[in-house]
């Protein structure tokens, strides 16, 4: 049974000095590189938004970053513009060993719907195609790392568990945003879904 490492959104805009920086986001690059050789497959995800994306506060009248609005699929945090297609901010961190990746899956490229999870858009039904890739490679166990723990990592982990994969999250190889209690909610959701949370070291 094959085991894959899924590296979530380790991109410049989520690292220090990026448009939506996660504190310490670049601290996990070297540990993730060191992990890659332990897995049968390495998959990278990449936030890949068009400039007119509906989740950007700049595309809403009288809206500010981190406001919450209602979309047809439910509540949506409005983010600063980030990971815009073809920009430096959307690039992977320069030190990440991208040559080790068997697959890079892009998400969030549909203008009208955001995508936190590596498996589904935020409507929870539109698939990204990652599940099919894993099934055809007979990958049954997943370890998730990356940014941010309380958003894209957690959503991906919960979806993976719901799809029947054996899922672990390496908390020491993730960093979080913790927006309005999002960290506590994410940990509870992952625990309830049966995700194995491997403890942070330090």
- Of the candidates 59, 57, 81, the one whose C-alpha atom is nearest the C-alpha of residue 67 is 57
Token readout for 125 is 């039904």
CA torsion angle 190 193 194 200 (round to 10): 0
How far is the C-alpha of 202 from the C-alpha of 128, rounded, in Å? 34
Active site residues per annotation? 9, 107, 152
* Residue 117 to residue 107: CA distance in whole angstroms: 8
Q: Which two tokens stand for residue 143?
A: 């370890």
Work out whether the CA dihedral 9, 14, 20, 22 comes out positive or negative: positive
């Amino acid at each position: 049974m094959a085991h894959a490492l899924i590296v979530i959104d380790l991109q410049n805009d989520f690292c220090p000095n990026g448009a939506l920086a996660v504190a310490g986001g670049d601290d996990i690059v070297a540990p993730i590189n060191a992990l890659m050789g332990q897995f049968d497959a390495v998959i990278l995800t990449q936030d890949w938004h068009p400039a007119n994306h509906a989740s950007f506060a700049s595309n809403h009248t009288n809206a500010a970053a981190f406001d919450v609005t209602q979309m047809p699929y439910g509540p949506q945090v409005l983010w600063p513009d980030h990971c815009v297609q073809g920009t430096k901010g959307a690039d992977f961190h320069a030190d990440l060993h991208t040559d080790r990746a068997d697959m890079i899956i892009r998400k969030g490229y549909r203008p009208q719907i955001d995508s936190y999870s590596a498996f589904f858009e935020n409507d929870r039904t539109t698939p990204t195609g990652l599940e099919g890739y894993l099934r055809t490679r007979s990958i049954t166990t997943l370890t998730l790392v990356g940014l941010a723990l309380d958003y894209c990592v957690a959503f991906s982990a919960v979806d993976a568990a719901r799809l029947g994969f054996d899922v672990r999250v390496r908390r020491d190889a993730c960093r979080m945003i913790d927006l309005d209690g999002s960290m506590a909610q994410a940990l509870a959701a992952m625990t309830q879904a049966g995700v194995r949370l491997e403890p942070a070291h330090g």
